[in-house]
Amino acid sequence: MKVPDLPDNEALRIATLRSLNILDTKPEERFDRLTRLAKRLFGVPIALVSLVDTNRQWFKSSQGLETTETSREVSFCAHTILGDDVLIVNDTKLDERFYDNPLVTNEPKIRFYAGVPLVIPNGSRLGTLCLIDQDPRTLSDEDLELLRDLGHIAEQELAAVQLATMDELTQLSNRRGFIALALHALNLCKRLHKPASLFFFDLDLFKEINDRYGHAEGDRALIGFSKILKEAFRESDVIGRLGGDEFAVLLTNTDLTESQLILNRLDRIRADFNKQEARGYDICCSVGAIEFDASRHQSIEDLLQEADQLMYVQKQTKRTKAAS
């Protein structure tokens, strides 16, 4: 049996999955309807919506299978999320990855598997819509297209769940989503004894942009700043728009010394952006940076509050210099 590898973006993927608050929730008709339809259309005894967690796969919807989860090590779906398209195993007994898998040698005695990865807008493959049979079989090209179509519907349902944690304008996490993602990332750093740092950003002269150019241009400035943040920070960093013109970023495995280097990179990217866009105004920001200290910070909110205070000090210093 081959134990599935981890995706390259595993930290972000798990954080995204946890932020949805969907694990271990009750069955929902919107997902059950899909698995019932898949089971009937393909004539298989088992159809699942499976979400791949850190050490397990958990079934949000299950038709034909009584268990609600299995170990990730034996999960077929954990292999599926490593690719972009349908994973088909026509006969598990002939596949060196699965022939001695406990799910093949014991119940439910899987002989055929087909799973399509479920990808949400930030690129994370959270799980699969999959078909299971106890006899070998194949799928036609038409069958594959149908399975992909059902998978897209499942993705839309997951995206609808995610919308509650996303900022519609910038496509970053909103405050609720940021706190959920950042909490998971911070707990991971604490468990592994790794540093973490938080940046609190506030755009400078944002009101003047709105007043002079209109609110549509103000929205455009917010979108522009979100693009700057996405380019400056790593995929593993948690970026969010907290509200208005306030943004935050949690950096894992990063102390304040490294944070300063990243801020220097952000300044260069921001300067290039302003020069290229030439909008008649520059996107500028004030920032408060704080390193996580378990003795002072009991929560993400504690980090945000302290970083917000530091940001305000920087903003006031700028105003004082401008007035003198």
The residues assigned a catalytic role are 245
Per-residue tokens: 256 = 């304040």
Distance of CA 113 to the CA centre of its chain: 26
What is the side-by-side order of every strand in the sheet holding 87-89?
69-71, 56-63, 46-52, 125-133, 112-119, 87-89
In angstroms, the CA 154 to CA 38 distance is: 11
Peptide bond connecting 108 to the previous residue in cis, omega within 30 degrees of 0: yes
Per-residue buried b or exposed e for 44-67, using 16+ beta carbons within 10 Å of the residue's own CB: bebbbbbbbbeebbbbbbbbebee
Count of C-beta atoms within a 10 Å radius of residue 226: 19
Place of tokens 């698995």: 35
Place of tokens 């040698």: 105
Count of C-beta atoms within a 10 Å radius of residue 255: 14
Q: Show Cβ contacts of residue 126 under 8 Å, excluding neighbours closer than 6 positions.
A: 13, 16, 17, 20, 51, 52, 81, 118, 119, 120, 158
Contact 302, 196 (CB under 8 A): no
Contact 174, 241 (CB under 8 A): yes
Strand 125-133 and strand 196-203: the pairing is unpaired
In angstroms, the CA 155 to CA 136 distance is: 27
Contact 261, 208 (CB under 8 A): no
